Amino acid sequence: MSATLFWVSLADGTRVGFDVDQGLDLRHLIIDGVDMAPVPYPAPPADEMRARAIGGVMFTCGTEHIRQPCRSVGPAGGMVDWPLHGTFITNPAQDIQQGSDGDSVTVAGTIRIVQVDGGVVEVERRYSLSQNPISVRLEDRITNIGVQICVPMMMYHINFDGRFIDKTSKIAGTAWHASVPLTPGIARHCEPFAAGGAELTLALAPVRSVRFSAGAEQLPWLQIYRQLDETTNIACVEPASHPFGTRAQLQDEGLLTPLAPGKSFSYWIEMRFMPLAA
C-alpha cells in the first residue's frame, strides 16, 4: 500500500515525511540520514492497514474509537460496530499548507471524517517542527460539524523500531522504569500520564532519547506497547484520551465525554529528540 507523502526539510538536514492519505500522520523522520520509522514488515492483505499504521513514526487512533474493535451502543442510541483503531487513518488530509512561526516550520491541514456511528467531525491538524533539539509538536482541534452528539476518543501511537532498542533502553516517567522487554511476545501497560512527561532511552540511534509530553486535559493517559515476534519488532509510546476498558465500562465510569454539534476538543503532543551529546 503506497503512500502520498508531503516532505519538509529543516536547515540542519532533518527531513520529515507526512502521509497525506492517512490524515497527515507522521510517517518518516530522518535525522542524520537515519529514518526513525520502523522497518515495514511483510503482511497479508487483510493486515495491510495495520502494517501501514505501525510502519510510520506516528499514527492516529480515533476519532470515534481507540484500541480493539467492539460492538456497543453509540451516542445516538443504536448498536455500533466500532472498528480497530477508529476511522481516522482511512481519511486523507486536505488544504495542506507549509509556513513558519518564528524559528519553527509549520505544516497544517484539515481532515473531514464521517464516523461509523453517523457523526461527522473535522480535524484541524497543525505541526510545528523545530531544531536544537529537534522537536515535533502536534496540535489537533476536533470539531463536531454534524447534527448529532459524538464522543471523541484519541490515541497517538509513536512507534520505534526494535533496532533502536536494547538492554539499556528504559522508559522513564512511568511505572516501566526497568528495561524495555526484549523477550518475544506482546506487552501492554497504561497509566496516568505523569506531569513531568516520559522519556524513552534509545540505542544505536542518531539521538540519545526521546522526551514526550501531552495536554493533560484531553490526553491524561499514557499507554506503552511492545511487540517482538517473527514479523514485528517495535516499541510504542502512546498518549491516550482513555484508559484500558470496554466502552461500557468507560461509559459507566463517566469517561465518555459527549461533544455537541458545533463544539470542539483540542489535543496536543510533543516529542523532543535529545542529541547524543546531551
pLDDT tens-digit readout, 93-120: 999 999 998 889 999 999 999 999 999 9
d(CA 82, CA 84): 7
CA distances from 276 to 31, 205, 207, 210 (A): 12, 9, 5, 11
The CATH number assigned to the domain holding 173 equals 2.70.98.10
Minimum mean pLDDT among 87-91, 115-119, 274-278: which range?
Answer: 274-278
Q: What is the mean pLDDT of residues 3-28?
A: 95
d(CA 157, CA 204): 21
- CB 156 within 8 Å of CB 67: no
Q: Residue 269's beta-bridge partner residues?
A: 138, 214
Q: Is residue 19 part of a domain?
A: no
Minimum mean pLDDT among 27-36, 117-126, 200-209: which range?
Answer: 200-209
Q: Is residue 37 part of a domain?
A: no
Q: What is the mean pLDDT of residues 113-132?
A: 96
The three three-digit cell numbers of residue 15, written as one number: 527531513
Q: Is residue 27 part of a domain?
A: no
Q: Is residue 189 part of a domain?
A: yes
- CB 188 within 8 Å of CB 250: no
Residue 267 per-residue DSSP state = E
- 179 falls in which pLDDT band (50, 70, 90)? low
Q: Is the pLDDT of residue 125 over 90?
A: yes
Average pLDDT, the chain: 90
Verdict on whether the full-model pTM lies above 0.75: yes
Residues 6+ apart with CB under 8 A from 134: 10, 12, 14, 31, 207, 272, 273
More confident: 32 or 183: 32
Q: Is residue 31 part of a domain?
A: no
Question: Structural domain tally of the chain?
Answer: 1
Reply yes or no: is the peptide bond before residue 133 cis, omega within 30 of 0. yes
Query: In angstroms, how far is the first alpha carbon of the chain from the final one?
Result: 38
pLDDT at 46: 52
pLDDT at 278: 54
> Structural domain of residue 79, as residue ranges?
60-275
Please name the residue that has the C-alpha cell 507526512: 18
Q: Is residue 175 part of a domain?
A: yes
Residue 52 per-residue DSSP state = H
Q: Is residue 130 part of a domain?
A: yes
Q: Is residue 38 part of a domain?
A: no
